[in-house]
Structure 1
Amino acid sequence: MNMRQIHPLTLGVLFGTFFARLSTFFVMPFFAIYLATLGFSASVIGTVFAVSAMSGLFMSFFGGTLSDRHGRKQLMLIGIGLNALTFTGFALATELVWFYVFSVLMGVSRSFLEPASRALISDTTKPEQRVIVYNVRYFLINIAAAIGPLLAVVLSLTGAKSAFFVVTGVYVFYGLVISGLFKKYPFEESDGIKVRPRLTETFRVLKEDKTFRFVIIGMIFAIIGYSQFNSTLPQFIAFHDGFSDGSRLFAYLLTVNAITVLVVQYPIMKFGIRVSPIKSLFFGVATLSIGLLLIGFATETWVLFVAMVIFTIGEVLMFTMTDVLTDELAPEHLRGTYFGAMGLTALGQSVGPIIGGLLLDGFNNAGLPVFAILSIVTAFGAFFFMGALTERKASLALIEEKAG
């Protein structure tokens, strides 16, 4: 597959996503520090992040369905516009209430833009090429995450108001480019625009599609485990007597994570295609759990590095196949609804750090009980993925029986 085989709108989404995420990583890793310089306490800063997560979680019920009802272009442009407004607001805000307001907007914009853009990729890409395109998207996001914070340091943008305006400028440019591409390369919207699914369609999908419901619940448990990477793990390292210079060590672990993603993504993608996306998720959450458990046994630095490689392999096994599986399960006229409903897995991102923090406090930063419990909680996801696999096989058998 070469670039010429990719629809211009999909290329626009891929590169737009890359530059938007790259610029966002100029800001978000340092956003808590920026808020602290304005005099807000750590607990208040935590609520600012929580408000964004919860608003995005709530809007997951509607954002994808709206793109099925009104079209990808409208929802993408609204999401891009809200993102531009959000980061401008962050730059100008000085009072807490405005940070809450713009955090809510950030969650809403994400729930509009993400499902619409991923559904657009499905709409404009041949089925046999979607797994590659989705993995290119995942690869670009990881590259942005790896180099964005470093670029911010090099360009002296960390904690600077100008960084927010850079993000705004990138989103405005992204909006202009994608709008121009829609005008130059019009395409037939999916049948969902004609069917106009109800705003409550997500609830119906979760009720009736047992396979998808099992996948959502399994991913919530998986993301509870994955969320420890940026929350519980750095705290554990920083306050563990056996590790010196925790900040530097965690930076090295971030590098190991990024390098491992880049090295293993392609072979894992091929593995996921061969065994099926649901099995890939099952193996992913199992591997993630093993990585978490090994962190609990770590008393020397090299054990942490081995654990991080295993943890990252689990991450890649899951996230390379998530969009592929969602596309496979979604009827053509409900792609946006399905991609939007996947946003419900953000519940794991919301509660995971809370669970990890409570365990660290409860066990006084003792690694083994903390990460053993987190490993067990994460492993619950495997049971739901097994349920999803069973339901999927049953539904496919029923389809074959009817066809026969």
Structure 2
Amino acid sequence: MADTVDTTRQAAGFRELLANGPVRLLVICSLINSVGFFAMMPFLALYLADLTTLPPAAIGAFTGSVALVGAIGALVGGTMTDRAGADILLRAGFALYTLLSAALALVTLPAVVLPLIVCLGGALMLVGPSLKKLMSLAAGEGGDLVFRMRFMTLSTGAALGPLLGAAAYNMSHRALFGASAVLFALCLTLVHARRQSLKALDVQTQRTHRQRWIWVQALHDRRFRLVLASSVLITLVFSQFESTFTLYLKDESGSSAPTLFAALFAAHAVLAFLYQWPAATLARRMALPAQAAWGCAGFAVAFLCWGTSHGGLALLLTGVVAWTVGEAILMPMADLITHRITPDAQKGTFFGALELRYLGFSTGPVLGGALLDTSQWTYFGVMAAVSFAAWPLLRARALRPEAG
């Protein structure tokens, strides 16, 4: 049937997929990497405020440079993944993470610390495309589920990493960066030990080696442009939860806002992990446009709940539940579609180009802040409408499985 989902790609369950050795290794590394990354990142601004006399805007620019360099640099990182080999680039990325974290644990001179922080984006641009390419190749027809597992590792890392980072930072900055360095070194050790099995997964062609600007081909693919554009809109909306929404809580709850947000974020992290099972079931039973509609509706309902909550816990929690439905459906969707529509030999390039979606994280807080300055109703009303901006792109016939 034209509007049904290609269920063969969902044939393997989570348990069966984890029985695959390379998949299990890559999922474990994704989890450890996420914990190490989120143990360090939330505390960079605090560390720079303690270490330097930089104004908040400059501190924000340096901490934000990690995501910016990682997103734009992934165009190069993805191309390098396809040309040199995903296993090599993955080890190089983990090695760079380890060296940079260890250096940050040892050095306190601002003139050295600031470039080291920017260089973290270089490690991000290597690890992201290579890890996703290997996961896609290792899972094969189970690729949809492996990217749901990757999203679960990100959710777990976002929940556990800051707890580890807070405990380490209370000891010293050396402990903060040292803990991340140990975790990144563990990832490097694991992938180096299994380098032959990972290398066997990779697919390279002579054409890939000859073509210098193969990422341009990704941007010329109409289906991929639809995925990328929808992803930028989704990340623009998604960025609100950890940026402008916290400002709203501060206005409503005052000094109790940090504690309230921590509780809401913890509930969100747990739900984001658990929701991947029903999200996988939904994907088997619903066509892509219907899934996208449910996801967009989840974000919109969350904004409406928060906008009418006046800081009340019941509506705030209801909004978090609806928000996590939208997140669980929409955030992994770009990886799932990219896995399906891209040739194996160029998956690194396409996954690298897909990292441009994180530009939405840069523009989202700016848009949200400007709307909130106008009024709370303007902010929540406009963002509820913007939540559906990606839906017309995701319902395009070109993205449906039967069109592939």
Do both share a fold (TM > 0.5)? yes
Question: In 2, Cα distance between the equivalents of 1:276 and 1:197?
Answer: 38
Aligned match of 2:280 in 269, 274, 279? 269
Instruction: In structure 2, give the amino acid aligned to 1:255.
Output: A
Residues 1:280 and 2:260 are matched in the alignment: no
Residues 1:392 and 2:392 are matched in the alignment: no
DSSP-derived class of the 1:228 partner? coil
Residues 1:42 and 2:51 are matched in the alignment: no
Corresponding position of 1:228: 240
- Provide closer, same or farther for how the CA distance between residues 368 and 192 of structure 1 changes in structure 2, counting only shifts above 3 A: farther
The 5-angstrom pairing of residues 3-402 of structure 1 reads 6-39=19-52, 40-127=54-141, 129-154=142-167, 157=170, 160-183=173-196, 186-192=199-205, 195-196=208-209, 198-207=211-220, 209-240=221-252, 245-277=256-288, 279-299=290-310, 300-360=312-372, 362-363=373-374, 366-386=375-395, 389-393=396-400, 396=402
Question: In 1, Cα distance between the equivalents of 2:208 and 2:166?
Answer: 49
> C-alpha deviations, 1:156-206, integer Å up to 9, x for none?
657622220121122122112211101366515313466326342222221
Corresponding position of 2:8: none
Question: In 1, Cα distance between the equivalents of 2:181 and 2:194?
Answer: 20
Q: CA RMSD in A?
A: 2.5
- Provide closer, same or farther for how the CA distance between residues 126 and 221 of structure 1 changes in structure 2, counting only shifts above 3 A: closer
Contact 1:218 1:382 in 2 (8 A): yes
CA displacement at 1:69 relative to structure 2 = 1.1
Corresponding position of 1:402: none
Question: In 1, Cα distance between the equivalents of 2:212 and 2:293?
Answer: 31
Question: In 2, Cα distance between the equivalents of 1:59 and 1:314?
Answer: 28
> C-alpha deviations, 1:202-259, integer Å up to 9, x for none?
222212x21211111111111111001111111210122x566111111111122123
CA displacement at 1:38 relative to structure 2 = 1.4
Length, aligned pairs only: 389
Higher mean C-alpha displacement, 194-203 vs 73-82: 194-203
Higher mean C-alpha displacement, 274-283 vs 139-148: 274-283
> C-alpha deviations, 1:39-81, integer Å up to 9, x for none?
3321111111232222122212221121111111111111112
Contact 1:90 1:102 in 2 (8 A): yes
Question: In 2, Cα distance between the equivalents of 1:4 and 1:214?
Answer: 29
Question: In 2, Cα distance between the equivalents of 1:274 and 1:49?
Answer: 41
CA displacement at 1:11 relative to structure 2 = 2.1
- Provide closer, same or farther for how the CA distance between residues 123 and 357 of structure 1 changes in structure 2, counting only shifts above 3 A: same
Which segments of structure 1 move beyond 6 Å, counting only runs of 4 or more? Answer: none
Contact 1:277 1:321 in 2 (8 A): no
Question: In 2, Cα distance between the equivalents of 1:244 and 1:326?
Answer: 43
CA displacement at 1:5 relative to structure 2 = 6.1
- Provide closer, same or farther for how the CA distance between residues 265 and 17 of structure 1 changes in structure 2, counting only shifts above 3 A: same
- Gaps of at least 5 residues in structure 2 are 1-12
Contact 1:152 1:158 in 2 (8 A): no
Contact 1:31 1:159 in 2 (8 A): no
CA displacement at 1:3 relative to structure 2 = 6.2
- Provide closer, same or farther for how the CA distance between residues 17 and 301 of structure 1 changes in structure 2, counting only shifts above 3 A: same
CA displacement at 1:141 relative to structure 2 = 2.3
Question: In 2, Cα distance between the equivalents of 1:57 and 1:185?
Answer: 24
- Gaps of at least 5 residues in structure 1 are 400-404
Instruction: In structure 2, give the amino acid aligned to 1:33.
Output: L
Question: In 1, Cα distance between the equivalents of 2:85 and 2:336?
Answer: 21
Percent of aligned pairs sharing the same letter = 23
> C-alpha deviations, 1:348-383, integer Å up to 9, x for none?
0111112222333x32xx422122222333322222
- Provide closer, same or farther for how the CA distance between residues 222 and 4 of structure 1 changes in structure 2, counting only shifts above 3 A: closer
Instruction: In structure 2, give the amino acid aligned to 1:78.
Output: A
Question: In 2, Cα distance between the equivalents of 1:65 and 1:231?
Answer: 32
Question: In 2, Cα distance between the equivalents of 1:385 and 1:96?
Answer: 45
CA displacement at 1:285 relative to structure 2 = 2.8
DSSP-derived class of the 2:200 partner? coil
Instruction: In structure 1, give the amino acid aligned to 2:128.
Output: E
DSSP-derived class of the 1:298 partner? coil
